[in-house]
Amino acid sequence: MKLVVGLGNPGRKYEETRHNVGFRVAAELARKFGNTPPKAAFHGEVVEASIGGEKVLLLCPHTLMNLSGQSVLAARDFYKVEHKDLLVVGDDLNLPLGKLRFRASGSSGGQKGLKDILHRLGGEDVPRLRIGIGSPPSGRDVAGYVLGRFAKNEIDEIEIAIKEAADAVTVWVREGVAVAMNKYNGSAA
Do the beta carbons of residue 117 and residue 126 sit within 8 Å? Answer: yes
* Among 28, 118, 33, CA closest to 76: 118
* Amino acid (one-letter) located at 189: A
19, 43, 83, 119: which one is catalytic? 19
CA atoms within 13 A on the CB side of 133: 25
Pairing of strands 86-92, 128-132: parallel
- For residue 19, indicate whether it is catalytic: yes
Burial 70-88, CB ≥16 within 10 A → b, else e: bbbbbbbeebebebebbbb
Rounded to 5 degrees, what angle do the CA atoms 44, 28, 8 make?
A: 40
DSSP state of 144: H
Residues forming the active site: 19
